[in-house]
Amino acid sequence: MSSHFRAMARNNAWSNDRLLRACGALTQEEFEARRVGFFPSLQRTLNHILVVDQYYLDGLEEGGRGLAVLENEVPFPRLADLALAQRATDARLIQYCDALNANRLEQVIAIDRGEHGVTQEVVHAVLSHLFLHQIHHRGQAHAMLSGTGVEPPPLDEFFLAWDAPRREEEIRRLGL
């Protein structure tokens, strides 16, 4: 299972990079524009992905910040700053997953749920949830991007050998 999470962490970094690079063709106004989605703009949706990544990473790393991580829903209003922060967070997640072993995957960690208390969660379940959360909201951002003049990038061409030639340059550039 460790190898699966290592691959998912790399897929996450690659997918985020592709999506954020595509958003780079938008103006700031287009990035902030109201759109259909749970978080009604690309800016808010992509910031949500980042802060939730940081929230769960804090729990996984036992950092102790808890819900304080989520206090600012849009910590990076400008795309360039958001992309740098997401890249750094993705690197942390890769580093965390690279250090996983069978024992760590089964460890129980504390997740601060605010007024609902602290829940005890198994590491592999937190990672599975984190990756699913990212995919879910990247899909929403992808759909929002479809409503602009920018073509959304494919985000599903990562795991198969067939797809390797299409991602080779990006994998090299990202150091994955």
List the domain range (segments joined by +) for residue 169: 2-174
pLDDT given at position 162:
85
Sign of CA dihedral 155, 159, 161, 165: positive
Confidence at 121, pLDDT banded by 50, 70, 90: very high
Nearest of 126, 106, 105, 93 to residue 7 by alpha carbon: 93
CATH number at residue 43: 1.20.120.450
Q: What angle do CA 61, 135, 52 make, to 5 degrees?
A: 40
Domains: count for the chain: 1
The residue-averaged pLDDT of 15-35 equals 97
Tell whether pTM > 0.85.
yes
Q: Is the pLDDT of residue 12 over 80?
A: yes
pLDDT given at position 158:
82
Q: Is the pLDDT of residue 159 over 80?
A: no
